[in-house]
Amino acid sequence: MSDLKRYLVPWIDQIKPYDTEDLVVAWSKPELKRMMINENPIVPSEKIVHAITEAAKMGNRYPDNGPRVRAKIAKQYDLGPENVYISHGSSEIIDMVMRLFVTPGDEVLLPNPTFSLYGIRAKTVGGSVVTVDLGSDLQYDVPAMLRAVTPRTKLIIVCTPNNPTGDFIPDDELMKIVELGIPTMIDEAYLEYHQEHESKAPLIRKYNHIIVAHTFSKAFGMAGIRFGYALADESLIGYFRKMQIPWNTSLLSIAAAEAALEEEEELKRKAAYNNAGVEYVCKELAKIPGVKPYFSHGNYVMIDATDAGVTGKEIVEYVFEKAGVMIKYFAPFRGRSGFFRISLGTHEENSLCVSAIKRFFEDRRKEK
């Protein structure tokens, strides 16, 4: 047997894979309610399904680089197709920026908590992850982020609205980061849920070090179809294309994205459905003494039950056991261990989840 350790990159053992075991459980037991991974509960429209079916009839052919869909995307932002890179979801963009800018020993600056894939992909290329805790109000602590910048900082990532907290970074605070001139990826994965907030795409006209990332996995409801895109200066898009794997988007995903972009009212309907769920969950859980839901601009709600004397893990396990609802707990943060997150489901699923959480606290009161 060969000694693989002699050939593997030396930092491989420090990498923890992105955990998808909850999806294995969910797919094996369809009766479970999937409220743990920020999926859209509304299925793709008939128009999207038809587009995929028609594209599949040409499945013997390699796809092009999506000139039509890139033109449609570019038009939304008053940009050119040369400013658009299409991808296998925004996860590929995260991986791409790491491989473009980060070498072993370089630093990637992230808020904490945020989407865990950022740090995982940074470590995959040997990068050093520098995290800056959000403030006690779970807002970006930009002064602390600026202090954390060093000569080794090669990439900064800002998720807005942030996952899992749901807040936008204020424009003036974001610009303090942008003006550093360090490559910065602005992840707008959840922006379509609140289109009254303008994209930061216009920044790429002035700043050639900015990448704005989007995905069709969230408000568009196409997580399993896998389509995303990056917006950037033409020269930076050129570097993306040097690094990309050919045919990274399939005929099916391109066709689905083109169809989805023509359904503005459908997108608004999905966003409104989600946002009503956010309002409901926040309103109902705020009624429980010691429980604090954080209003979210995404398709999830972060909740802190520390002041109720329980851990997030206890709630997550109870809701799973008693109601068959899968939600997610988070590691203790700032000495508080009651954090958990609900990904919005159907209105019926939201009601089931909230009822189970209320029942958890009722059972605890009976035990005392």
Q: What is the CATH number of the domain that holds 71?
A: 3.40.640.10
Q: What is the pLDDT of residue 146?
A: 98
Q: What is the pLDDT of residue 366?
A: 82
Give the pLDDT band (50/70/90) at residue 350: very high
CA 119 – CA 102 distance, rounded (Å): 12
Mean pLDDT of 336-361: 98
pLDDT in tens, 112-126: 999 999 999 999 999
Percent of the chain residues past pLDDT 90, beyond the cut: 95
Q: What are phi and psi of 301, to 5 degrees?
A: -135, 125
pLDDT in tens, 261-309: 999 999 999 999 999 999 999 999 999 999 999 999 999 999 999 999 9
Q: What is the pLDDT of residue 211?
A: 98
pLDDT in tens, 208-265: 999 999 999 999 999 999 999 999 999 999 999 999 999 999 999 999 999 999 999 9
Mean pLDDT of 352-358: 98
Same domain for 284 and 244 = no
Same domain for 94 and 174 = yes
Task: Please determine, for residue 158, whether its predicted confidence score (pLDDT) is greater than 90.
Answer: yes
Give the chain's domain count. 2
Q: What is the pLDDT of residue 124?
A: 96
Cα pseudo-dihedral 6, 10, 16, 18, rounded to 10:
-90
CA 25 – CA 34 distance, rounded (Å): 10
Task: Please determine, for residue 71, whether its predicted confidence score (pLDDT) is greater than 90.
Answer: yes
Instruction: Return the structure tokens found at 352.
Output: 């089931």
Residues 45-65 as b/e (b if ≥16 CB within 10 A, e otherwise) read: beebeebbeebeeeeeeebeb
pLDDT in tens, 308-335: 999 999 999 999 999 999 999 999 999 9
Same domain for 342 and 224 = no
Same domain for 252 and 193 = yes
Same domain for 172 and 87 = yes
Same domain for 238 and 280 = no
Other C-beta atoms within 10 Å of 292: how many?
Answer: 19
Vertex 126 angle, CA 120 and 132, to 5°: 55
Same domain for 343 and 197 = no
| 156 close to 183: Cβ distance less than 8 angstroms | yes
Q: What is the CATH number of the domain that holds 29?
A: 3.90.1150.10
Q: What is the pLDDT of residue 367?
A: 79
Domain boundary among 247, 262, 277: 262
Q: What is the pLDDT of residue 2?
A: 87
Same domain for 223 and 318 = no
Same domain for 241 and 153 = yes
CA 101 – CA 366 distance, rounded (Å): 56
Q: What is the pLDDT of residue 66?
A: 96
Give the pLDDT band (50/70/90) at residue 365: confident
| 341 close to 305: Cβ distance less than 8 angstroms | no
Same domain for 122 and 23 = no
CA 324 – CA 322 distance, rounded (Å): 6
Task: Write out the H or E segment, with its range, that includes residue 339.
Answer: strand 339-343
Q: What is the pLDDT of residue 5?
A: 87
Domain boundary among 244, 262, 280: 262
Which residue, 311, 274, 266, is CA-closest to 296? 274
Same domain for 113 and 148 = yes
Mean pLDDT of all residues belonging to the chain: 97
Q: What is the pLDDT of residue 279?
A: 98
CA 122 – CA 111 distance, rounded (Å): 14
CA 106 – CA 91 distance, rounded (Å): 20
Given CA atoms 340, 161, 264, 53 in this order, what sign does their dihedral have?
Answer: negative
Q: Judging by DSSP bridges, how do beta strands 292-294 and 153-159 pair with one another?
A: unpaired
Domain boundary among 262, 279, 296: 262
CA 100 – CA 184 distance, rounded (Å): 12
Supply the pTM of this predicted model: 0.96
- Please report how the helices 251-261 and 67-76 are oriented relative to each other, as an axis angle in degrees rounded to 10: 30
Task: Please determine, for residue 368, whether its predicted confidence score (pLDDT) is greater than 80.
Answer: no
> Which residue range(s) make up the domain with 125?
46-262
Same domain for 283 and 252 = no
Instruction: Return the structure tokens found at 214.
Output: 């989007």
